[in-house]
Amino acid sequence: MAKRKTLAANTVETRDVPTPPGYPSEVKILGQTYRIIYRTPLVFPDGSGLQGMVTGRDRTILIDPSLPPHMIRETILHEIAHVYLTHSGFESKYEKAKLVEIFCDMFGSAVDDLTQNNDWPTRR
């Protein structure tokens, strides 16, 4: 989960919007397809906001599409990093640690930087 500033109201109405042009509506991670839903604003029931979250059980990634473009990309990658960390066993070991969020932020910005600024080879 990528955190965001707390919103004032706790009765915020959210809505799902169409996949923004150029962004994925699904992503394959470790052979499993995860749906990406763009929801704005993205909030917890208590009204606190977040940039994104992933639920492994129903293989869904929620992203706030009101973020600037680079933050949408990085947040999607951040949530994907959670899946890899969970798969590796790292996330359950450090479940409450900020280390997980720091790592996911690093993964998101690193992969985005790498792929945005390089002609990255694709599998043939």
Query: Which of residues 26 and 101 has its CB atom nearest to Zn ion in the complex?
Result: 101
Q: Between vectors from CA 63 to CA 8 and to CA 41, what angle results, nearest 5°? A: 25
* Pairing label, strands 60-63, 48-55: antiparallel
Query: Which of residues 62 and 65 has its CB atom nearest to Zn ion in the complex?
Result: 62
Query: Which of residues 46 and 119 has its CB atom nearest to Zn ion in the complex?
Result: 46
Distance CA 48, CA 5 (A): 7
Q: Which residue has the tokens 């473009």?
A: 69
Taking the complex as a whole, the smallest distance from the CB of residue 28 to Zn ion amounts, in Å, to 20
* Pairing label, strands 2-6, 48-55: antiparallel
Binding residues for Zn ion, rule: CB under 5 A, are 1-2, 101, 104
Taking the complex as a whole, the smallest distance from the CB of residue 8 to Zn ion amounts, in Å, to 23
Which of 75, 76, 88 lies closest to 28, judged by CA? 76
Query: Which of residues 7 and 9 has its CB atom nearest to Zn ion in the complex?
Result: 7
Question: Both tokens of residue 120?
Answer: 């990255």
